[in-house]
Amino acid sequence: MDYYGKRIVYAVDGWADRVFTPKYNPLHWLGTLCFFCMMLILISGIYLFFFYRTGTPYESVQYLTVEQWYIGGIMRSVHRYASDGLVMFMALHLLREFLLGRYRQWRWLSWFSGNTLLITSIIIGIIGYWMVWDGRAQLIAQKTAQLLNDIPILVEPPSRSFLSDDTISKMLFFVLLLAHIGISLIGISAFIFIHVSRNARAAIKPPRVIAVATLIVLFILSFIAPATNAQTADMAKLPINIPFDWFFLFIYPLASVLPKWVFWFTSVGGVLIVFMAPWLGRSRRLPPAQIILEKCVGCEQCNKDCPYEAIRMAPRKDGRPYLLQAEIMVSRCASCGICIGSCDSKATNLPDRTLEQIENEITELLHLAQRQDGKPKILGFICEKSVKLDEIVDTKNRSIKGMPNVPIITFRCAGMIQHSIIEHALESGADGVFVSGCQMEECYYREGAKWANARLMGERAPVLLPFKGPASNYSRIRVYWLSPLSQLHGKYLISEINLFRDELSHISNVRTYGLIKPAIPRERIYKKAMAFSAASLLLIPAFLILFLSTKPTYPFYSKDQSLLKFTFKRSGKQVGCRELAEEEVETKLKHMRKTRSSFARLRMECDRRRLPMYVEVYLDNKNIFSKTYYPTGIRKDGSTFAYEEIPIVPGVHDIKVKMRDLSVEEAYERKEVEEHVEEHENSSKMGASKDDILLDYTFEKKINIKAEMSAIIDFDEVNNKFYVLGQNEE
């Protein structure tokens, strides 16, 4: 899986690198783009907060959109599209890291917190849409309540709170505002901190060019398609042809298409699998780095260079004349070897790849390497992640294919290459050395290529010092920062090695003194026209955001449809009491049986459980559903609730409802019947007809329900009868 995933990512990255250059490739900055979008959401959200009124949510947002379009409308649109961009960038970032295999072992915390950030952001976005209280918010409220109805710990179905405009609590929008702000400021901030807590020098800002281009694109979207309200929320009407934002609201179509158990099984199971991915099929973890305390001088360079803060400096414990000593935090160590390249005193090592083993390997390879037509020997140090080794390396003699005089040694990361390794190679007979690592913006271990380049350029300790002797200076070193794009960069590397070999042939007999820095490929320089063409490609994801967040609608309801909502709340009859037999009374405590008059209740055993209720609903003398509802509470002693939505054809209909309390025996038997046979067989199983069973509570009315409207059948527990709301009775 990781192999094919990497091929996909590298292919896409390669195309983007050619268009934007590796330095400004947006795919390398997805995480920082998420943070940039969060800042835009925060700034615009603060402005919107000053004008939002919980008492008149729709009117206050409409004022911002229409009356204050020049500022408030733009701020709202930026808030909206930046939120869509945040979800898109988060999803792409997580998908990219997953395909590259960057979620296991020491990265598990970042993966876990990143997925939590995505889910939390979606929840915040849904609440934000809800706060507007237009037709889209009405749809969200109804569909969210239906999802919450399936959660057994909730006593009353939340859908009963959205039966009509009168049933909606005045405190709802105050609670939504608190949740929207609280989760955003506290939850998001906490998970961002956790997400970057194990990354030293975590990148949170994209390059200025990318940030400006993103901001311009968001403003373009805000001007050509400003965010607007849908129709006013009306609980008596069905929300039809409502603009649908698929970035946040995708869960509702899934819930409407799939059976309940399938939806919850796939949703909960899918989320659990995603969060558990770092431990599923877990690959073998490499042994962590080790500190040789006898050589450690406490210089802190390894601590500064470690990209995952896996090295800490502690007070010296062995009495040596240094203040500090380095210690490895095993749980954070990525075994990348960057600390080896950082240590000038050779105090760090990898148990399975020591410096001594590497130097012996260099000596052996240079001894076996064959000179080809008198051409110089070149030793290559290649990062395992930078190129596809199987396409350019001859595994028989561990050299570049077709170049037996160019042996190579692979490293886990270019940052592992210590200056003493290069010195040893040149002193052991290599005419030249080249280093090949990942592009700095996409280093597998975050900063390995960056630090290796800085050391070779003399910009970061430990620096590579000039060598003594003729023709033994920096002109004998080359550096190539590549991306593992198989054939493309593999061929490029081979062509560069040929050029390097030709240059070494010309300078081999020349005495050169002084410092000549390693040759590093120049960055691509954009002309204005090329920069504009590359930046214009960012409009493609912009229009994708525009399309998925405004244009499509999902047909939850149709124009030629009406909705019948059947609901009730009722406290069923208690199971009752029974008189205890004499032997049962004798088991009671003696001090509780002093008198029969004062403690007569000892002879009675009462069951507080309430009886379930069986309901049948008829539409034009046709049974449209039959169901048994059970009381709530741990002891089954609470009220019984029901909520059902039944799509019907508009027009005049005869409605009939039958309901009765079932005895314990009837309820148990009926439950088994409902699980195994069709409802029409219940009468024979129960030994009674439906009419005999359902005579306790009956209701009959003729109603006229219009298209795109809803009618409500509810139960008046005080007067003990059903009634209709929302439509004209005939």
DSSP label of 577: E
| pLDDT tens-digit readout, 114-153 | 999 999 999 999 999 999 999 999 999 999 999 999 888 8
Per 3-state DSSP, the chain is made up of helix, strand and coil in percentages (nearest 5) of 50, 20, 35
pLDDT for 300 equals 94
Looking at the chain, the whole-number percentage of residues with pLDDT higher than 70 is 84
Task: Count CA within 13 A, CB hemisphere, residue 319.
Answer: 0
* pLDDT value of position 439: 84
- What order of strands is seen across the sheet that includes strand 710-716? 640-648, 562-570, 710-716, 721-725
Which pLDDT value is given to residue 526? 57
**93 vs 660, higher pLDDT:** 93
State mean pLDDT over 538-556. 86
- pLDDT tens sequence across 303-357: 999 999 999 999 998 888 899 999 999 999 999 999 999 999 999 999 999 999 9
Average pLDDT rounded to a whole number, residues 294-307? 94
Structure tokens at 251: 């869960």
How many angstroms separate the CA atoms of 507 and 513, rounded?
12
For residue 545, count CB atoms less than 10 angstroms from its CB and return exposed for 0-12, middle for 13-18, buried for 19 or more: buried
pLDDT tens digits along 621-668: 999 989 999 999 888 888 999 999 999 999 999 999 999 888 756 655
* pLDDT 10s digits, 598-625: 445 556 667 778 888 899 999 999 999 8
Query: Tens of pLDDT along 356-394?
Result: 999 999 999 998 876 666 788 999 999 988 877 777 888
The percent of residues in the chain predicted with pLDDT above 90, rounded, is: 53
Ordered domains of the chain (ranges, CATH): 2-251 (1.20.810.10), 290-507 (no CATH), 562-573+611-729 (2.60.40), 579-607 (no CATH)
Rounded to a whole number of angstroms, the distance between the first and last alpha carbons of the chain is: 65
pLDDT over 90 (residue 511): no
Per-residue pLDDT tens over the stretch 234-244 = 999 999 988 89
When pLDDT is averaged across residues 577-586 and rounded to a whole number, the result is 66
What CA–CA distance (Å, rounded) separates 381 from 464? Answer: 15
Average pLDDT over residues 74-101: 95
Tell me the torsion sign for CA atoms 647, 648, 651, 656.
negative
Q: Residues 6 or more apart from 705 whose CB is under 8 A from it?
A: 562, 564, 648, 650, 651, 653, 711, 727
Q: Report the C-alpha gap between 533 and 526 in whole angstroms.
A: 10
Give phi and psi for 556, each to the nearest 5. -65, -35
pLDDT value at 522 more than 60: no
Of 656, 655, 659, the C-alpha closest to 642 is: 659
Position 167 scores a pLDDT of 87
Structure tokens at 429: 């007979």
Q: Determine the average pLDDT of the residues in 507-521.
A: 45
Q: What is the mean pLDDT of residues 502-529?
A: 55
What is the model's pLDDT at position 574?
Answer: 81
Token pair 């959205």: residue = 162
pLDDT in tens, 8-39: 888 888 888 888 887 888 999 999 999 999 99
| Secondary structure in 3-state letters for 345-400 | CCCEEECCECHHHHHHHHHHHHHHCCCCCCCCCEEEEEECCCCCHHHHEECCCCEE
Name the band, by pLDDT with cuts 50, 70 and 90, for residue 584.
low
Residue 528: pLDDT band with limits 50, 70, 90 = low
The tens digit of pLDDT for each residue in 666-715 reads: 655 555 444 444 444 444 333 344 444 445 688 999 999 999 999 999 99
CA 256 to CA 552: how far, in whole Å? 17
pLDDT at 404 over 70: yes
Average pLDDT, the chain: 85
